[in-house]
Amino acid sequence: MAPLPDDSAWFYYPNTGAAAFFSAFFGLLGVGISFRAWQGGLKKFYWVELIGVLWEVAGFAVRAAAHDRTTDVGLFAAQQSLIVLAPLWIAGGIYLICGRIMAAVSKKRRIFGIPVRRIALIFVTCDIVTLLVQVSGTSIAAGVEWEGSQADVGSHIITGGLAAQTVTLVFFIAIIVNFAGARLPFAAKRNVHWLPGFRSAFWSSLMILLRCVYRLIEFAMGVDGYLFEHEWPFYVIEALPMAVAVCGLALVYPPHYLQEAENSENIEVRDAEMS
């Protein structure tokens, strides 16, 4: 392979095959999520996740096109921005539906002092804030085509947004673990079936967290760091975990279990009234 041009925006030739594969794979997952949402009459719950999936599709498609155009900083900036921001939409969808499930199962319970009925609102708000922070960072960096001191400013802002996103995810996962531990005995006793959707969201959250830690380290190391200069970590710790996360949401679609969670609450209320 020919050496990279001196004015290349990349440290390597992006792998066309891998990028095209993940673009197509995310596209198929998006179709699957759309079908399940439409089939179940739950369209209002899936659009946030679908935006994230479509951004993944577009980001990897642009990355594939950049193989023969490594000097095109616009392509580099576009794929970087889309792929960095896409997980925020997917995480937002998880916050929304998990919060609704928890509120449906037990509206009076508090976790770490937070009323369960407010969990969705709080975490979706945090997700929007971190999205805006990272959008501002990517806008600054992309505005100067990810070059120069302004690009460094944008990268620092993105790093701050990623740190906030990581903390939010860790806290959310802790809430899921706490809540599930408290509800499992009841769920087992009543043969409640909302747990698969909850588990799907939990494992998807872990995959997104893994990806966030990778991106946080990458931006903290800077453009001269190992993670920016080598492609394999991008696919192993960014693309693959996000594909697993979205695949889990597509195969075990959490919104389908919301009705089961609401039924679970009704059973619990009736039992309390009879006792």
What's the CATH number where 262 sits?
1.20.1070
Domain assignment of residue 261, given as a range: 16-267
pLDDT at 9: 85
* Structural domains in the chain (count): 1
Residue 36 lies in a domain: yes
Q: State the virtual CA torsion across 155, 226, 204, 99 in degrees, nearest 10.
A: -30
User: What confidence tens digit (pLDDT) does each residue in 180-229 have?
Assistant: 776 655 554 454 566 777 788 889 999 999 999 999 999 999 878 899 99
State residue 270's pLDDT score.
Answer: 40
What is the pLDDT at residue 10? 92
Instruction: Kindly state whether residue 273 falls inside one of the protein's structural domains.
Output: no
- Whether 20 is covered by a domain: the verdict is yes
Give every residue of the chain whose pLDDT is below 70, as ranges: 1, 40-45, 106-108, 145-146, 182-194, 253-275
Is 172 inside any structural domain?
yes
User: Is 247 part of a structural domain of the chain?
Assistant: yes
Does residue 272 belong to any structural domain of this protein?
no
Q: Please tell me the predicted confidence (pLDDT) of residue 183.
A: 63
In a domain, 243, yes or no: yes
pTM of the model: 0.87
